[in-house]
């Protein structure tokens, strides 16, 4: 006799595929929504300068901001506007074109983040 802990409904003709964790239809799955809502980062914001793999161009990297994806995108836009340069937000990391470490650390501290300069 099989135990019911490892098995369960994986497809229903009424609702389609089912989530193996919460046993809800994938369209109504609560597991994925909770995973996306968790902020990435430990609260200690690290600001560093990087040139590796960018053809010699300097980029300022901001890691460890404990915000969700939408708030992180807004913060990225604010930092790029403060520096007057371009950049992007991807995988929980804000990239700003150019060497703006000191300016970004000050802007983050004014917003209440614990920003520190890391790297060389």
For residue 89, pLDDT over 60 is answered with: yes
List the beta bridge partners of residue 62: 47, 94
More confident residue, 23 or 89: 89
pTM over 0.85: no
Residue with tokens 């209440």: 112
Report the helix count and the strand count for the chain, using DSSP H and E: 3, 7
Mean pLDDT of the chain: 82
Q: What pLDDT shows up at residue 4? A: 47
Where do the domains of the chain lie, and which CATH numbers do they carry?
A: 9-38 (no CATH), 44-117 (3.30.780.10)
Q: What pLDDT shows up at residue 44? A: 84
């Amino acid at each position: 006799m099989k135990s019911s802990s490892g098995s369960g409904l994986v497809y229903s003709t009424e609702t389609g595929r089912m989530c193996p964790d919460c046993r809800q239809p994938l369209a109504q799955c609560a597991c994925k929504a909770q995973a996306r809502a968790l902020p990435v980062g430990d609260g200690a914001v690290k600001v560093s300068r990087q040139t590796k793999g960018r053809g010699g161009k300097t980029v300022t990297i901001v890691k460890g901001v404990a915000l969700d994806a939408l708030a992180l995108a807004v913060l990225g836009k604010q930092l790029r506007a403060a520096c007057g340069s371009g950049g992007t937000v991807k995988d929980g990391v804000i990239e700003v074109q150019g060497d703006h470490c000191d300016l970004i650390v000050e802007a983050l501290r004014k917003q209440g983040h614990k920003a520190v300069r890391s790297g060389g």
